[in-house]
Amino acid sequence: MAETERSTRYRLGVDVGGTHTDLVLNDIETGALRIEKLPSSPENPARAVLEGLKRLLADGVSPDEIAFFAHGTTVTTNALLEAKGAKIGLFINQGYRAICEVQTQARDQGNPFDHLFSRPAHLAPPSVTYEIPGRMDYLGNEIASLDRDAVAEAAKSLVVDGINSFTICYLFSYMNAAHERETAEIIRDIAPDAFVSMSSEVLPRIREWPRYSTTLINAYLVPVLAKYIADLAAGLDDENVMTRRRFLMQSNGGVMPLSANAEAQTVHTLLSGPAAGVQGTAYLLGIEQGWNNIVTMDMGGTSCDIAFVENGLPLEHAEAVIAHRIVAVPALDVSTISAGGGSIARVNAAGMLEVGPDSAGASPGPACYGKGGTLPTVTDADIVSGILNPDFFLGGKMALDVDGATQAVQDHVAAPMEIDIANAAAGITRVINARMADEIRVQAAKKGVDLSGFTLVPFGGAGPVHAVAVAEDLGIPRVLVPASPGAFSALGLLCADVVHDYIRSDLRDLEGIDPAHVEAAFATLEERAAEELQEEGLGDEARNFLREVDLRYAGQGYELRVPIEGIPTPLDAEGFDALTERFHERHEAVHGHAARGAPIEVVSYRLRAIVPVPKIEMASAVDQKLTRSEKPSGKRTFRDARGQSVDADVWRRQDLPTDSTIKGPIIVEQLDATTVVPGGWTVRLDNAGNLELYREDVG
């Protein structure tokens, strides 16, 4: 992407988490990084972002020099989880209201014999759902014209009810969107400022309920995201950060302009925050440094996100379940559990220690924050155990209340369990470590990953504290702590290209399909992509179009994504043979068998549009030419997860000698994280600034 701003000195990445908001400012000229970390503002997430920006500007950064702004946020995720989206209306075909009741008939990740199972509340209950006469058949032919009067009457009624976000979900609209577009025009005539989400734009693919569910979620969240973007954009304008390169992270590991069409793309931001860290791992550690097989452990204040990078590429999926609702858009395959530094510990009615799922969040936060919190958290346990330095939290910018943490652990864990406080804190640590290890183990088994060949990469403020204990539990012999682990997701935002995903279903037999039909389907998607990039101000930028097809054996109820890359297009007989064999191989890899000779169906055409963005350029540990003392700053005694007393040297990360090995036990402190290296492990600061931790028997 060409740089056209008057000055291009800085690129800024911002990640808003449940507890902290992180800003990373990259100096393009020197590769240096500047990090700001401050409490998040859940009542208005933009406020913490702008406060962090003001700190940077007050420190001498000129707003004219910020040429790139990328942002990852949990605003849509939190709105869905907390049921704080907009009130929406739904237009559906006459006679098909039951789709919203029947859904897929599946019980999300539950016990099929659970007689207490219930679905989440409808986003568009029957009172705001209107059945509209009109039908398209499965080929996209109109068999009953749209009742425009019924649409207008329904729209007027919904406006009277105070609804300003509308969902249109008609059968087979992915084959012919005319009725959905006509309905949208009528709604906009009646309510010009309304948000309108059409399933033919949000997700034009087969299977009614995944398409309807995704579109409903999009409509539910559009007003939330639109307001947030407007507040953020206005704040950037007020601070004179006028760069047109303002981007928002998406679930697929790419970014989209803040000016993108929110009515069609809001749902793509649901995993915005977790995706940034995974993308940063794949680029900085995979592409740039050659660490090809990685399991990430992003442990922040509220949750822990698990993902896998295999052969240098992050694993993806085309459908996820968030808050028990189906979201059928491409996303990095991230698993999230409630295991963060703010996870609250308590003794349950059976006298057993539990940690989470609830979190102290940013307000009041852990007891050690001194903001009124009285319940013990994982961070409080780390303070009580002596792992964290209360005088060097956030580089000394935030003093921690040791007495408050001690009192919380004593009152709510040690006393009820009748154990000493050291063992109470160690117990909290063991429980949270086991939860994270179990989640990684389960996800690895689902994906066929042999963890012994992988490296664990922890980040987030709490990740490096617990990483080695989790690695030991899993039998992983290597841990790699990146240079700025506590702000690594913000760093990952500076490693992402603009990425848009498009899909169109068109079910046909692969054998005998006309190559011109395939080419026309992709041409339609490419035309739509080009139009949207033009609207986003990226029409003149270089772009890449990657083509895929969803294929399945005839009669299957699921399909697999198969890339066409490397096969000459338009497809000829030889190309179809190559595509067929590629599908067989993919099916065998995923499901353990292939049915060569069985008929194959084309289900959908997919297009990924990529606009390359200049990536972060970091100074290496050698290039930074820091004055290193190459000796520890002191000693500290801490309690490990078994409650045993450990004497350790304490190092400041900037003092570690480059490319030299130091044996544990040691504690490494830095502005945004603390790394624990136990006995039996060694650590080395490599030339890229990573901490490489190895079991001594691995070397």
Q: To the nearest whole number, what is the mean pLDDT of the chain?
A: 90
Domains along the chain with CATH numbers? 84-225 (3.40.50), 343-430 (no CATH), 498-611 (no CATH), 634-695 (no CATH)
Alpha carbon of 546 to those of 43, 251, 590: distances in Å?
Answer: 40, 18, 22
Tens of pLDDT, residue by residue over 382-423, are 999 999 999 888 878 888 999 999 999 999 999 999 999 999
| Predicted model pTM | 0.88
pLDDT of 452-499, one tens digit each?
A: 889 999 999 899 999 999 999 999 999 999 988 988 999 999 999 999
Half-sphere exposure of 613 (CA within 13 A, CB side): 27
* Alpha-carbon gap, residue 35 to 667, rounded angstroms: 21
Residues 6 or more apart from 554 whose CB is under 8 A from it? Answer: 509, 598, 599, 600, 601
pLDDT in tens, 215-232: 999 999 999 999 989 999
CA 296 – CA 470 distance, rounded (Å): 12
The per-residue pLDDT for range 53-63, each reduced to its tens digit, is: 999 999 989 99
Which residues, in sequence order, are CB contacts of 277 under 8 Å at separation 6+?
15, 296, 298, 305, 307, 459, 460, 488, 489, 492
Q: With contact defined as beta carbons under 8 Å apart, do 468 and 666 qualify?
A: no
Q: Quick one: average pLDDT of 662-669? A: 94
Question: Over pLDDT 90: what percentage of the chain?
Answer: 66
Confidence of residue 698 (pLDDT cuts 50, 70, 90): low
Q: How far apart are CA 281 and CA 284, in angstroms?
A: 6
